[in-house]
Amino acid sequence: MKRLSWFNATSLAFGFAFLYIPMLILVIYSFNSSKLVTVWAGFSTKWYVELAGNEAFLEAAWVTIKVAVISSTLATVLGTMAAYAMVRGGRFFGRTLFSGMVYAPLVMPEVITGLSLLLLFIGIGMDRGVMTIVLAHTILTMCYVSVVVSSRLVSFDRSLEEAALDLGCTPFDAFRSVTLPIIAPAVIAGWLLAFTLSLDDLVIASFVSGPSSTTLPIKIFSSVRLGVSPEINALSTIMIGIVTIGVIVASLVTKRSVAMRAKQERDAE
Amino acid sequence: MTDNLEFTPWADPSQKPLIRFENVTKKFGDFTAIDNLTLDIYEKEFFALLGPSGCGKTTLMRLLGGFEQVTSGTITIAGQDMANIPPNKRAVNMMFQSYALFPHLTVAANIAFGLKRDDLSAADIDARVDEMLTLVQLKQYAKRKPHQLSGGQRQRVALARSLAKAPKLLLLDEPLGALDKKLRTETQFELMDIQEKTGTTFVIVTHDQEEAMTVASRVAVMNHGVMIQVDTPDRIYENPSSSYVADFIGDVNLINGTARVVDGVVTMSWAEGQPKLSAKSALDFAADAACILAIRPEKVNISSTKPGSAHNVVRGKILDIAYLGNISTYHVQIADGTIIKAQSANNRRLARRPFTWEDKVYLSWTDTAGVVLAE
């Protein structure tokens, strides 16, 4: 391992400090025993205990998880299908337009996505609730899944599918028994990415949520406007933990499958 | 392999071909990959498609496998028109160039993959997998994943998988391309052995002419989507129909000249003031029509004194000598400037070699050694 020069080491330290000191402070203060957020009065886990008894927060957490699981699953199915159509479809009519439009939500300002969805739901007379958040999150996260899966499909040896057809599979059977197991790591990574994105989305959710369906980020944001409580710190710490685990698992899954593939290619030579 | 001497279904008009191509054309956009091709392949044949890359041989195979559809013409397999029949509905299996083994499945599961798509009991599948593993001598590797195998072992798994469903026809796309030369030669004999044991019709695509000559009962030489010659390996080598085939298969000397035919013997003038060459030929030429004499290097004799009995004697000068251990190839320039390669076995030690560079020598061959071609 090469040693860093003092310049690189300093910039790295500054970079990390800039990124993580705010979060670190939040995590530390979540273990503060004082009710005042800015005054340290000793270590305590009482805010976590209190949080566990707070019905409103637990309700919001349940809604958030429900939305994240359903929307990321829907997004994974749709995103994988879109990726498959784009990579395997060849030069079908409207392909460039289609792929451009699949990736558009990546760069579209969330405020605009949220607003347009709100107008749509009002227009078709759909009551805002869990369902509308699920739909909105599916739209938001599908393109991320599609990016992850299509980058795997591009390097997928097409003759594997042809071999499956040759051995008697229908095209769907070939996809299910050969393509899907092989691209599974990318699909799982896409799901985890969609899950974490849905978990921490505030902007779109606040447009399309109804009174009965407050997600955790909305709940936190509205509570903070009445003043930051240590309870919020505790809740945020838990969310940071979940998202961190999600991202680490997703990257480990991807990394492991890349390493596996590299090994197989090496062995194949 | 003694049966193969008798195995000539293509010469028997009462035999029905297993595969029949009738006026098949395949275009990709403006590019014509297969150009109005007509061909019969018979049951139990080991048929080799040989040609340079881009000649259409792989396209021909993919048409048989059902991965491409013909632009015009018909392909029938066992009397059934193959138009619009998808790959999974054909009694044809293919062994892919990349082997296309499923990386997430074990060797046994790879072989069982196709069988599970048929209505077979688990016991029948296991028995068949076992049989296949024995055939390719991989019994102790049944539980391994493909990436834990060597290149040669993977090749055998791919072969076993494609044979497991007992197809009427097995397509092999450059099956030995990824193996090193020594392993390739061994595997060629294994392939022939397995083909004979299973009685399956094999169609193999290769760009390696030695491989095609070794394994095949008939070889088809292709170029630009057209069959140039379809014949047994020995006829392709000894009686090429054109200088393209003669040049593509092995080494050949081509001498240009004009022909006069008398009683099936061509008398060929090839250079001013030089004695004419004579060769027996089944072809008829108009008087003084242009012709090419094709003759293999090993059939050209080289000597320092004028041989008495040979039909054709040509003088020349040695330009180069390639010493290959068992044989030597002499590059000899003759009167019209053509360089003729003559090969002779080194049955004496090198120090005793009778000729060296710049020596004037005599080249000679009989009137049946070469072939006279029109083009």
Q: Could you report the per-residue pLDDT of A4-31, keeping only the tens digit for each? A: 789 999 999 999 999 889 889 888 888 8
pLDDT number for residue A1? 60
Q: Which of B86, B102, B161 sits opposite A178 (nearest CB)?
A: B102
Q: List the one residue out of A75, A249, A70, A63 whose CA is nearest residue A149.
A: A75
| Mean pLDDT of each 10-residue bin along chain B, 375 residues long | 64 87 92 92 93 89 92 92 91 92 94 92 94 91 92 92 92 88 87 90 91 92 92 91 89 90 85 85 83 92 83 90 88 91 84 80 90 85
Given a contact cutoff of 8 angstroms between Cβ atoms, the answer to whether B23 and B80 are in contact is: no
The token pair at A107 is 């760069």
- Cβ contacts of residue B193 below 8 Å, gap of 6+? none
Cα angle A126, A132, A137; round to 5: 155
Q: Do A159 and B97 touch (CB under 8 A)?
A: yes
Residue of A nearest to B178 (CA): A269
The token pair at A213 is 């369906």
Residue of B nearest to A172 (CA): B88
Domain ranges of chain B: 3-91+167-244, 251-373
Given a contact cutoff of 8 angstroms between Cβ atoms, the answer to whether B64 and A143 are in contact is: no
Residues B171-181 as b or e (16 or more Cβ within 10 Å = b): bbbbbbebbee
Q: List the one residue out of A74, A72, A76 whose CA is nearest residue A84.
A: A76
Amino acid at B223: N
The token pair at B372 is 């006279």
- In chain A, residues with a C-beta closer than 8 Å to the C-beta of B87 are 162, 165-166
- In chain B, residues with a C-beta closer than 8 Å to the C-beta of A182 are 102-104
pLDDT (average), residues A36-58: 85
Q: What is the ipTM of this complex?
A: 0.81
Was domain B3-91+167-244 assigned CATH 3.40.50.720?
no
pLDDT number for residue A66? 93
Q: Do B165 and A159 touch (CB under 8 A)?
A: no
A86 touches chain B (CB under 8 A): no
A24 touches chain B (CB under 8 A): no
Q: Do B98 and A170 touch (CB under 8 A)?
A: no
Going by pLDDT thresholds of 50, 70 and 90, the confidence category of residue A267 is low
Element housing B51 (H / E): none
- In chain A, residues with a C-beta closer than 8 Å to the C-beta of B114 are 166-168
Question: What is the residue whose two structure tokens read 């958030």?
Answer: A64
Going by pLDDT thresholds of 50, 70 and 90, the confidence category of residue A260 is confident
Residues B74-93 as b or e (16 or more Cβ within 10 Å = b): ebebbeeebeeeebbebebb
Amino acid at A69: V
Task: For residue B38, give the 3-state DSSP assignment.
Answer: strand
A263 touches chain B (CB under 8 A): yes
- In chain A, residues with a C-beta closer than 8 Å to the C-beta of B97 are 159
Q: List the one residue out of B156, B165, B105 whose CA is nearest residue B129.
A: B165
Task: For residue B342, give the 3-state DSSP assignment.
Answer: strand
The token pair at B100 is 């296309």
Total domains in chain A come to 1
Task: For residue B336, give the 3-state DSSP assignment.
Answer: coil
Q: Do A160 and B148 touch (CB under 8 A)?
A: no
Distance between CA atoms of residues A24 and B141, nearest Å: 53
Distance between CA atoms of residues A168 and A70, nearest Å: 34
The token pair at B350 is 């090198």
Q: List the one residue out of B316, B283, B319, B322 whose CA is nearest residue B302.
A: B316
Q: Which domain holds residue A62?
A: 22-35+44-151+181-268
Domain at B251-373, CATH homologous superfamily: Nucleic acid-binding proteins (2.40.50.140)
Q: List the one residue out of B89, B88, B61, B56 whose CA is nearest residue B75.
A: B61
Q: Distance from B150 to chain A by nearest Cα, in Å?
A: 8
Question: What is the residue whose two structure tokens read 């159509």?
Answer: A85
Distance between CA atoms of residues B42 and B18, nearest Å: 5
Task: For residue B341, give the 3-state DSSP assignment.
Answer: strand
Percent of chain A at pLDDT above 70? 97
Q: List the one residue out of A156, A199, A195, A215 whose CA is nearest residue A76.
A: A195
pLDDT number for residue B2? 43
Residue A224 lies in a domain: yes
A91 touches chain B (CB under 8 A): no
Q: What is the CATH number of the domain that holds A94?
A: 1.10.3720.10
- Cβ contacts of residue B9 below 8 Å, gap of 6+? B15, B42, B43, B44, B45
Percent of chain A at pLDDT above 90? 40
Q: What confidence tens digit (pLDDT) does each residue in A124-177 have?
A: 998 888 999 999 999 999 999 999 999 889 888 889 999 999 999 999 999 999
Q: Do B88 and A166 touch (CB under 8 A)?
A: yes
pLDDT number for residue B5? 54
Q: What confidence tens digit (pLDDT) does each residue in A207-222 have?
A: 999 887 889 899 888 8
Q: What confidence tens digit (pLDDT) does each residue in A78-102 have?
A: 999 999 988 887 777 777 888 888 8
Q: Do A169 and B88 touch (CB under 8 A)?
A: yes
Q: List the one residue out of B35, B88, B40 whose CA is nearest residue B66.
A: B88
The residues in A 150-189 lying below 8 A from B, measured between CB atoms, are: 157, 159-160, 162-170, 173, 177-178, 181-182
Distance between CA atoms of residues B330 and B314, nearest Å: 14
Going by pLDDT thresholds of 50, 70 and 90, the confidence category of residue A269 is low
